[in-house]
Each structure stands twice: as C-alpha cells, then as structure tokens.
C-alpha cells in the first residue's frame, strides 16, 4: 500500500495540535505542533482568541509540510462544539466569538422555557439542556438586542469558521450543527419553530454539509504562507466528539458498548441508529448528537477534568505549580471517599478559585472539608467516576442493553487512576485508548473521503491493529456503593 499522509487539526477547549497520520499497513501518528487554548477575559465578557488560533493552525500546517516534504494528501479540522461566529455579507468576522462559559447565558434556560416548554424544545432538537448551548447564547443576544444579529449574514460554528478561512467555502458541518440545540435531528434541518420562538433570525443558518465531504482546496494565500500548496480540505466529523467516537476500537459486530470521551468534559454515550427524542431521554437530560455514516450518539455531557485543570491553574497562580502526573500521584496517595462531589454543580461552571469553591461545596453539603491538594483531587476524580456510574445506569435504561465494555478515549485516558476508578465504580471492563482518538477519527474520515479506506468498520479495525489499548478490570468495590448513595443525596 502506498503511504498516504493526512493533517489532522484538532483543537480542544484546553489545547490544540496538528498531527499527521500516515496510512500504510498500519496508521502511525506524528505530532507536528501543539499549542494552548483557553478563554480570554475582555471588558465585554469571556471570549476565544480565534485570531491566535488561526495563526497556530497555519503554523501547524507549515510544520507538517516541512516535516513531510509536502507529501500530504489532505487536511481536516475539528474543534469543540456549541460556540460560533457571525459573518457579514462580505464574509468578514463581525466580532470575537464568545466562550461558552461566559456569564451572559445565566438565566437563559428559564427564559427559553417561558417562550417554549422544555418538552417541546427537546422534541424539536433532542439536545441536553445546558446553558452553554448555542441556542441560549443566541437567545442572550436576542434579548440584549445585539446589533450583531442585524448585521450578520451567516452563522458558522467554530470549525466552520476555520474551514472557511482554509478553503473559502462557508459550510455548516453536520456533527457540529447537532450540538447547537438549533437543529432538528429527525428532519436533519434547522429547528425553525425553536428559532422563531427565541426570536433568532433563521436566515443566518445555511445548508448542512455531511461529515466526510471534500469541500475544496487550500486557499492560495494560505497555501503560500504554509508551503502546503493546494491540498484538499475535507470536513471530517468537525465536532471533536464525533471524530473521537469514529475512532473507538470496538470489536467488529459489537453494538452493545459504551464510550466515554474523556477530557475537559466527559461525554458518556452509546452509538445508536436513530435519535431518541421521546420523554425518557429528556427526563434524563440526554442529548442526541450526530455521528458518522448514519450513526447517532445518545449521550450526556458531564463535567470532566475541567475541575482538575482549574485547580492546577489556581495553584500555579499561588506559586505551587504542579504537573498532571504529580497531581494524579497526590490523589492516589490521599485516602478514599473523604467527601463526595457532584462535578456538574452549577457553581463549578465558571472559571474561579476552584479549590476554595470545592471546599465551600463540601461545607454547604455538611461533609468533611478537604484540606490537602491530594484530598481535593481525590474527591474530584471519585466524583467523576461516580457520575459515570449514574449516567451509565440511565443509558442502559434508555437503550435496554447492558453496555460492556466501556471504551474511554481521548486525552483523559492518560489518567490511569481515573480509568481504574471508572472500572471500579461502574463494575465494567474499561478499555482505554487511543489517547489521540479525535485526531485519529479526523484522519480516518479524510482517508474514507479520499477512498483510501472503504468503511467505518475497516477504519475501526485499523485502529485496533495500530494502537494497543490498556484494559482495566473492576478491582476494589469497597466504598463505591455507599459513596454513590451519598452522591445522589447531595445532587440537586
């Protein structure tokens, strides 16, 4: 087989990277550039620095071209979901995109439900209710009578924005569109009744582009800056979860598995053949997001390693910088179940002094207040694992299946302590890896689009043979049942 090389531009809420996937008899990865990402506080709110990210993207493409002597078949880009940009009639960016943790969406769920009942919103969109969703960001703009809505010609999600700057083509890629709570999964079209109820201009929303579409070639100016030439631009699954799930190394024929995309957020789900938009998933606050090749992801977002990241940021500010490995060691050395923590408590949503906020949560819920860094980190990881158990129980109830094993993918797989806790708390086998699942899924979708691979099943088989997973079996059940019962008492 001739070697094919594909650039995956993979940008998460905390960091970004460019990775070249080389496809021969196996798939190998070469990281060519890595950079940090995060919110920028301005007087008008919390934003993303998309211009710096655009510069990093071009740097990564340039490094990839230099390292691989311009022998590149295509490139594809994925990012987080829900956030967006607005373009004017000339295609110019109207303003710095807001960060989903900006406070402007506080109270927007209640306002939305005054305009349309929650059951009706869910029936139209099938999305989990979270104030970070695109729908509530746009509702806040509508309530504030933002002049940007009048000036805007096009709505694009963050990956759509970068794909436009790469190729000159304005698209609304399918998997990212399904994260917005502005999209009807059954009709595969924008949820116009919801947009009307929220007084959001429907004219902003364009045709939806399927995942795995070749949309054009690199614009001449970008090609010249990076030395890449006019290489093809493919939209993979542009929502990072969609790309990550495409890379789950599930055994052929097994549909009864669960997956967890572990990172800043932990997204827990099952792969299903059709969206579930009836009352039961709404009552459990699950979401239906688009997958690749006709699949859907029945899943739930829970707060993941965001709490660890915020603790690390606060301790660094206090001149006590720690690596993630050091933090995991401290958690492992701390005693178990000092207190239980709901990682989705609303007080943890916004950036803050997270260690102090966690101590406050424990005090307010009449628990032992953790004193050491290790204790704080331990109850965070235990809380995440316990939340996995709760969501898995609901997911099995919705699908009517026992889901085993649990495939954990993404950057969070590096936290072996959390992986073992997940196995212990859920009493399921955990198969961890690959770490770079999102970039791998991005690469696989490019290979399929260019007909270098024939199917999703073939692509997943390639992942199994190219990347050895780590398997965690349930070991220590002691204390988990009692902690789980306690968690359910402290949750709202």
List, by residue number, the catalytic residues: 240
> How far is Cα 442 from Cα 261, in angstroms, rounded to an integer?
15
> How far is Cα 376 from Cα 322, in angstroms, rounded to an integer?
14
DSSP string, 65-123: HHHTTT---EEEEEB-SS-EEEE-TTS-B-SPPBPTT-GGGTTHHHHHHHHS-HHHHHH
Which value, to the nearest 10 degrees, does the dihedral of the CA atoms of residues 205, 206, 209, 215 take? -130
SS3 content of the chain, % helix, strand, coil (to 5): 40, 20, 35
Are 231 and 241 in contact by the 8 Å Cβ rule? The answer is no
> How far is Cα 154 from Cα 81, in angstroms, rounded to an integer?
17
DSSP string, 296-333: EEEEEEEE-THHHHHHHHHHHHTT----HHHHHHHHHH
> How far is Cα 440 from Cα 433, in angstroms, rounded to an integer?
11
- Token pair of 272 as six digits: 């299903």
> How far is Cα 3 from Cα 24, in angstroms, rounded to an integer?
5
**Which strand (E) or helix (H) includes residue 8?**
strand 4-11
**Which strand (E) or helix (H) includes residue 389?**
helix 373-399
Sign of CA dihedral 95, 100, 106, 109: positive
User: β-strand 154-157 against 172-173: which pairing, if any?
Assistant: unpaired
Beta bridge partners of 301: 267
Q: Give 366's contacts (C-beta < 8 A, 6+ positions apart).
A: none
Are 470 and 429 in contact by the 8 Å Cβ rule? The answer is no
- Token pair of 322 as six digits: 């720690």
Beta bridge partners of 37: none
């Amino acid at each position: 087989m001739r070697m094919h090389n594909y650039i995956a531009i993979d940008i998460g809420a905390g960091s970004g990277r460019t990775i070249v996937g080389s496809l021969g008899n196996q798939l190998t990865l070469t990281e060519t550039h890595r950079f940090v990402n995060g919110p920028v506080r301005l007087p008008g709110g919390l934003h993303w620095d998309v211009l710096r990210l655009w510069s990093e993207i071009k740097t990564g493409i340039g490094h990839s071209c230099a390292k691989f002597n311009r022998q590149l078949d295509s490139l594809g880009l994925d990012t987080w979901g829900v956030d967006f940009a607005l373009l004017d009639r000339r295609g110019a960016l109207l303003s710095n995109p807001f960060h989903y943790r900006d406070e402007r969406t506080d109270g927007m769920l209640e306002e939305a439900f005054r305009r349309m009942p929650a059951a009706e919103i869910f029936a139209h969109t099938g999305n989990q209710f979270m104030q970070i969703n695109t729908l509530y960001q746009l509702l806040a703009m509508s309530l504030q009578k933002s002049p940007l809505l009048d000036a805007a010609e096009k709505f694009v999600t963050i990956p759509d924005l970068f794909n436009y700057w790469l190729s000159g083509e304005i698209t609304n890629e399918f998997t990212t569109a399904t994260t917005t709570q502005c999209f009807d999964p059954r009709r595969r079209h924008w949820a116009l009744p919801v947009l009307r109820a929220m007084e959001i201009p429907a004219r902003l929303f364009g045709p939806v582009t399927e995942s795995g579409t070749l949309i054009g070639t690199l614009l001449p100016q970008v090609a010249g800056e990076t030395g890449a030439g006019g290489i093809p631009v493919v939209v993979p699954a542009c929502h990072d979860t969609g790309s990550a799930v495409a890379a789950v190394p599930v055994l052929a024929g097994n549909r009864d598995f669960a997956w967890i995309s572990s990172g800043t957020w932990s997204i827990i789900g099952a792969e299903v053949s059709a969206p579930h938009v009836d009352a039961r998933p709404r009552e459990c606050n699950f979401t239906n997001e688009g997958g690749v090749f006709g699949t859907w992801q029945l899943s739930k977002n829970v707060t993941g390693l965001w709490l660890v990241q915020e603790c690390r940021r606060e301790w660094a500010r206090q001149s006590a910088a720690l690596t993630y490995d050091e933090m995991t060691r401290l958690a492992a050395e701390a005693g178990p179940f000092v207190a239980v923590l709901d990682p989705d408590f609303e007080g943890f949503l916004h950036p803050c002094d997270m260690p102090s906020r966690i101590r406050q949560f424990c005090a307010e819920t009449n628990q032992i207040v953790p004193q050491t860094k290790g204790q704080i980190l331990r109850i965070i990881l235990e809380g995440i694992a316990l939340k996995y158990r709760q969501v898995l129980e609901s997911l099995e109830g919705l699908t009517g299946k026992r889901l085993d094993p649990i495939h954990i993918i993404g950057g969070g797989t590096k936290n072996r302590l959390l992986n073992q806790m997940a196995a212990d708390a859920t009493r399921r086998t955990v198969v961890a890896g690959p770490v770079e699942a999102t970039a791998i899924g991005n690469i696989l979708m490019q290979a399929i689009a260019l007909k270098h691979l024939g199917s999703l099943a073939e692509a997943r088989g390639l992942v199994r043979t190219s990347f050895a997973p780590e398997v965690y079996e349930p070991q220590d059940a002691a204390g988990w049942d009692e902690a789980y019962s306690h968690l359910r008492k402290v949750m709202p």
